[in-house]
């Protein structure tokens, strides 16, 4: 019997509600202080998150030479953008970018647990940790991508990258058509964490 993985966006909402309830209980019991919780939330809202990755991708779309440097030495290229804090700290060690193209589509998973480049993608979604997603992503990546709404043509290669404590991968998605008139900031606004994991495409604005 085949294992089934079904992406369900409603589960993310349910998970967030459970986290808030647990947070409130821990604060009430004195296990956590509200200041500590606020500090963590502020960090992922303003310092480490997918807005960083989006900025990196947009620069790569705008500057082919920067993109090449990013693929050759990802940490060094990221440092060129002068982020306000270091990007190679906790969960950002040894980051490595790969690029989608007309002939290749990349998918990032973590077969062992849930290694993830927090500084550029934020916190991992619930399904990234799902053991069925992790195993099927290796065995049948095209089927998994199809369940996310990404239909990869038969003549396009799918490459699967396994994140670990040694290398934390993220994807430079293809730049959507008809965006030549957009600024770097406007391009960054189109990039989602899902696209930088390879389970979504970037769409041009309507």
Domain residue limits, the chain = 10-46, 49-188
User: How high is the pLDDT of residue 4?
Assistant: 45
Q: Could you report the per-residue pLDDT of 57-102, keeping only the tens digit for each?
A: 999 999 999 999 999 999 999 999 988 665 665 555 689 999 999 9
Element (H, E) at 99: strand 95-99
Q: Cα separation of 91 and 113, whole Å?
A: 13
Q: What is the mean pLDDT of residues 127-150?
A: 94
**Residues labelled as active-site residues:** 110, 113-115
Contacts of 68 (CB under 8 A, 6+ apart): none
Using the predicted structure, report yes or no on whether residue 168 has a pLDDT greater than 50: yes
CATH superfamily, region 49-188? Nitrile hydratase alpha /Thiocyanate hydrolase gamma (3.90.330.10)
User: How high is the pLDDT of residue 47?
Assistant: 55
- Which residues are documented as binding site for Fe(3+)? 110, 113-115
């Amino acid at each position: 019997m085949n294992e089934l993985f079904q992406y369900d966006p409603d589960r993310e909402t349910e998970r967030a509600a459970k986290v808030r309830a647990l947070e409130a209980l821990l604060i009430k019991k004195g296990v956590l202080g509200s200041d500590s919780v606020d500090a963590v939330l502020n960090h992922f809202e303003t310092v480490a998150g997918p807005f960083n990755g989006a900025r990196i991708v947009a620069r790569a779309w705008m500057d082919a030479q920067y993109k090449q440097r990013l693929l050759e030495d990802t940490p060094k290229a990221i440092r060129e953008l002068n982020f306000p804090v270091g990007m190679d700290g906790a969960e950002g060690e040894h980051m490595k970018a790969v690029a989608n193209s007309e002939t290749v589509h990349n998918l990032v998973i973590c077969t062992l647990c849930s290694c993830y480049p927090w500084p550029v993608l934020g916190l991992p979604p619930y399904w990234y940790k799902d053991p069925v997603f992790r195993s099927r992503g290796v065995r049948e990546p095209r089927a998994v991508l199809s369940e996310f709404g990404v239909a990869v043509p038969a003549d396009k290669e799918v490459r699967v990258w396994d994140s670990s404590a040694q290398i934390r991968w993220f994807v430079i998605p293809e730049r959507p058509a008809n965006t030549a008139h957009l600024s770097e900031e406007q391009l960054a606004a189109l990039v989602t964490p899902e696209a930088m994991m390879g389970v979504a495409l970037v769409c041009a604005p309507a």
